[in-house]
Amino acid sequence: MSTTATDRGTDSGTVVLELNDVHTYYGAIHALKGVTLDVRAGEIVTLIGANGAGKSTTLRSINGLNHARKGAIRFSGRDITGAAPHSIVKMGIAQSPEGRRLFPRMSVYENLEMGAFQRKDRSNFKGDLDRVFQLFPRLAERRQQKAGTLSGGEQQMCAIGRALMARPKLLLLDEPSMGLAPIFVEKIFEIIVEINQQGTPVLLVEQNALMALDVANRGYVLETGRIALQGEAKDLRQNERVRQTYLGET
């Protein structure tokens, strides 16, 4: 990985996304027990933690698929805690959901088109499509192929590309490395950094803590629905507890 957090500096820009004491439930199950975090302009922020710690739930609270029962979520200064998923997308939060969730019987092109569903300005559609195809030349080759027949890595590219078609002001990525061969993981992370350098802040949920902390500016460690640790990514990387629990180092 050529680019790291230290290269790009970690100046704290304006706060784009802010979660304040967010509690989210699945029925009676208390999944998030007061999560507070923020993402600032120009940053990659990563959320790491074990299975079931609440990483995906945090994203589902942000994008409106699972509303927080308590606490507040603000995006660009507006309260979006109880907003409908489609209006949140309209405000500028796009995502590559957990498990990619492409439309399997639609072509790559149609999937990308669905990404731009909430956009009013159809005029820039071509330009954005070119941008996605430049980031992922593989998708350009396979534009007419059914998304369900792509390989895992290509599907992930398609999912990220689809999110970019919304021209997001904040990009949520849920486990982009899941189930991918190491060579693809590296490629995906390179592209995440590239997207971020083009000006989009990224909230990255990852189980692959090593890679995530490598590319991120800051990180949060979730444990059973609470933020256990937070800080600069390079500090977390050195943290004894993180190293033992999430990086498998001794």
Partner 1 sequence: MSTARATFTERWRQLPDVVQRLALPALVLLLAILYPWYFGGLPGAFPAVETAVIMLIFTVMALGLNVVVGYAGLLDLGYVAFYAAGAYVAAWLASVQFEQVTFHLGSIGIVDTLPGIHISIWIVLVAAALFTTIVGVLIGLPTLRLRGDYLAIVTLGFGEIVPQVVRNGDDFGGFDLTHGTFGISPIDSIGFGNTLNDTLGLPASYQTSTNRAELFYLTALALLLFTVFCSVRLRDSRLGRAWIAIREDETAAAAMGVPLMRTKTWSYATGAFFGGLAGAFYAVFKSGAFPSDFFFNFSIFILCMVILGGMGSVWGVIVGGLVLSYLDREGLAKVGSFASDVLNRPIDVPKYAFGVYGAIIVAMMLFRPAGMIPEKRHRLEIDEGVESAAVASAEQGGDGRRGDG
Closest CA to 37 of 211, 192, 188, 225: 225
Least Å from the CB of residue 190 to partner 1? 12
Residues 115, 44: Cα–Cα separation, whole Å = 21
> Helix 152-164 crosses helix 182-197 at what angle (to 10 degrees)?
10
Tell me which of 130, 194, 238, 249 binds partner 1, using CB under 8 A.
Answer: 130
Enumerate residues 196-215 that contact partner 1 by CB under 8 A.
none
Maximum distance among all Cα pairs of the chain, rounded to whole angstroms: 54
Coil, strand or helix at 129: helix
> CA-based angle 125:175:196, to the nearest 5?
50
Quick check: 67 binds partner 1 (CB under 8 A)?
no
Tell me which of 32, 45, 158, 184 binds partner 1, using CB under 8 A.
Answer: 184
Quick check: 80 binds partner 1 (CB under 8 A)?
no
Quick check: 190 binds partner 1 (CB under 8 A)?
no
Residues 97, 130: Cα–Cα separation, whole Å = 22
Tell me which of 43, 154, 175, 214 binds partner 1, using CB under 8 A.
Answer: 154
Coil, strand or helix at 37: strand
Quick check: 246 binds partner 1 (CB under 8 A)?
no
Interacting residues toward partner 1 by CB under 8 A: 63, 65, 84-86, 89-90, 95, 97, 101-107, 109-110, 113-115, 117-118, 126, 129-130, 133-134, 136-138, 140-141, 143, 151-156, 162, 166, 179-181, 183-184, 187
